[in-house]
Chains A and B, each alone.
Chain A
């Protein structure tokens, strides 16, 4: 089960815009829905089940310096989110 958030302006599978829900969507439907902005993976849930090494790799691709030096998994996740926020701000500028 993946946790999603309705990010579009229309209800999705009976869920209101802004509402979070858990579902096992067919892969192609999920891809279409995310691509058109109907839903997005709820924040935090995308890291669920990832191992420390997988998180380290992800962090490195997001521009986190030396993620393996961070003390624990939550700190790696925080670092990834911080790196993404920085990227978003640069894109806005």
Chain B
């Protein structure tokens, strides 16, 4: 599929029409445990490190990108972040990825002259359930 209608909702606010890129990496750190005598490296798995990353076009209008991300960052409490491949309702073919996330860092403005002002947000997991895949 071609990603052209992905949906991202942050604390109830649909920021899809301000979103330039989104990803739901769910990485598991690996710990090498290759023992003496082994002919190939072996690994054990550490716990997962789920997160949701997104890049937004900055918008300072009421209830838009800036107000939403700033309030999440300042609130210091987990909020619900939902990502879907398309804006359609969640279904087996359009799964929702839901995470209770915090936003430890937020840069309200950045860039050079002539640049589109964008904001990179990395929501870190704040709940033991990690990323829940729906519907």
* Chain A interface (Cβ < 8 Å from any Cβ of B): 6-14, 25, 28-29, 32-33, 35-39
Contact = CB atoms under 8 A, between A and B. Distances in A.
A72 B124 CA distance: 53
Contacts of B11: 29, 32-33
Interface of B: 11-15, 17-18, 59, 61-64, 67-68, 70-72, 75, 77, 79
A13 to B, nearest CB: 5
Contacts, number: 62
Contact of A36 (B14, B17, B67): B67
B63 A36 contact: yes
- Report which residue of A7, A12, A29, A32 has the largest number of chain B beta carbons within 10 angstroms of its beta carbon: A32
21 contacts: A6-B63, A7-B62, A8-B63, A8-B67, A9-B64, A10-B17, A10-B64, A11-B13, A11-B14, A12-B13, A12-B63, A14-B14, A29-B11, A29-B79, A33-B11, A36-B62, A36-B68, A36-B71, A38-B12, A38-B62, A38-B63
